C-alpha cells in the first residue's frame, strides 16, 4: 500500500475544545520529530461524522480517530482500539423547561418531550436511539443538528431537550438560560456504574503506527486520558528518534 504524504486525525467535538489543544501543542512543540517542519501536512479533521470517521479510517483516508465506540465498526483484525474513558450523558434544556423540577429526570418523563439529536451518521444519534429502545419508552426526535452551538441555540429558545456527552455541554454550565440534568438510572439502585455513559476510544491500524507522528500522537493521548496504560509495553516502547 502506498503511504500518503499527509497524516489526518479525527476527533469527537466534545474533545476538540477541552483536551486536544494540549495534546496538539505537545505534539508540535515538544516532539521535534513530529514538528510541522518535518511533517507539514498533519491535519486535524473535525467535520466527519463519528461512525463515518471509522469507515474513512478503514478506507485509509485518515490515520487515527478519537470517536465514540461502535462495536460493529471496531472489530476488524487490522484495527487497534484503545479504550480511553467512559463519558456521562446528560440532558440539556432551557432554564425554564418543565423538566428542571427534577434533579434527576426519570426516563418516563424524558420520553414525554421531543428531542434534538445529532444528524444521521453520528454515533450519538445511534446511541440515543438505542437507549430509548432499551428503556421501552417513545423516542421523539424532531430536529437533527451537527454543531454544539446549534444545540445550545435551539434548546435555549424551545421546549426541546437534547441528550449530550458531558464534555459537550461544559460551556452551558455557566449559561443562565440553560439547564443540565442527569438521567435516572435504569436500575433500582443508583450507582456510578449505572449512570448512562458512552465509551470513547482511539482507533488506528497496525500499519499507521509505523508513521512517527501517528505513533507519538497515540502516546500523547494515552498520557492525557489513561496514564495507567503507559505501563503497557506496546505503548511505552515508543520513544522519539
DSSP reduced 3-state for 81 = strand
Q: Are residues 46 and 106 in the same domain?
A: no
pLDDT at 5: 47
Q: Are residues 65 and 152 in the same domain?
A: no
The size of the chain, in residues, is 241
DSSP reduced 3-state for 138 = coil
Q: Are residues 91 and 175 in the same domain?
A: yes
Q: How do residues 115-154 score in pLDDT, each as one tens digit?
A: 999 988 788 999 999 999 999 999 999 999 988 899 999 9
**More confident of the two residues 225 and 182:** 182
DSSP secondary structure letter of residue 39: -
Residue 33 reports pLDDT greater than 80: no
Question: Positive or negative, the Cα torsion across 69, 182, 164, 159?
Answer: positive
The packing angle between helices 123-135 and 50-58, to 10°, is: 120
Instruction: Give residue 173's domain range.
Output: 87-197
| Widest CA span in the chain | 58
Q: Are residues 182 and 217 in the same domain?
A: no
Q: Does a structural domain hold residue 1?
A: no
Q: Does a structural domain hold residue 16?
A: yes
Residue 63 is placed in which grid cell?
490515520
DSSP secondary structure letter of residue 3: P
Q: What is the reported pTM?
A: 0.77
Our count of domains for the chain comes to: 2
Residue 85 reports pLDDT greater than 70: yes
Amino acid at each position: 500500500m502506498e503511504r500518503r504524504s499527509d497524516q489526518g486525525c479525527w476527533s469527537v467535538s466534545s474533545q476538540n475544545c477541552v483536551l486536544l489543544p494540549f495534546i496538539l501543542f505537545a505534539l508540535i512543540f515538544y516532539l521535534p520529530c513530529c514538528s510541522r517542519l518535518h511533517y507539514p501536512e498533519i491535519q486535524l479533521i473535525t467535520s466527519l461524522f463519528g461512525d463515518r470517521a471509522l469507515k474513512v479510517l478503514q478506507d485509509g483516508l485518515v490515520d487515527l480517530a478519537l470517536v465514540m465506540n461502535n462495536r460493529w465498526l471496531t472489530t476488524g483484525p487490522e484495527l487497534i482500539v484503545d479504550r480511553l474513558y467512559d463519558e456521562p450523558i446528560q440532558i440539556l434544556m432551557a432554564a425554564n423547561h418543565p423538566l428542571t423540577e427534577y434533579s434527576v429526570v426519570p426516563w418516563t418523563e424524558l420520553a414525554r418531550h421531543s428531542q434534538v439529536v445529532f444528524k444521521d451518521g453520528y454515533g450519538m444519534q445511534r446511541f440515543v436511539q438505542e437507549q430509548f429502545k432499551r428503556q421501552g419508552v417513545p423516542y421523539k426526535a424532531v430536529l437533527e443538528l451537527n454543531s454544539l452551538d446549534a444545540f445550545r441555540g435551539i434548546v435555549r429558545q424551545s421546549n426541546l431537550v437534547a441528550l449530550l456527552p458531558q464534555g459537550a455541554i461544559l460551556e452551558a454550565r455557566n449559561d443562565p438560560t440553560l439547564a443540565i440534568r442527569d438521567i435516572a438510572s435504569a436500575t433500582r439502585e443508583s450507582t456510578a456504574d449505572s449512570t448512562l455513559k458512552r465509551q470513547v476510544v482511539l482507533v488506528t491500524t497496525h500499519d499507521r503506527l509505523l508513521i512517527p507522528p501517528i505513533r507519538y500522537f497515540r502516546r500523547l493521548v494515552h498520557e492525557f486520558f489513561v496514564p495507567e496504560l503507559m505501563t503497557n509495553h506496546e505503548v511505552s516502547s515508543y520513544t522519539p528518534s
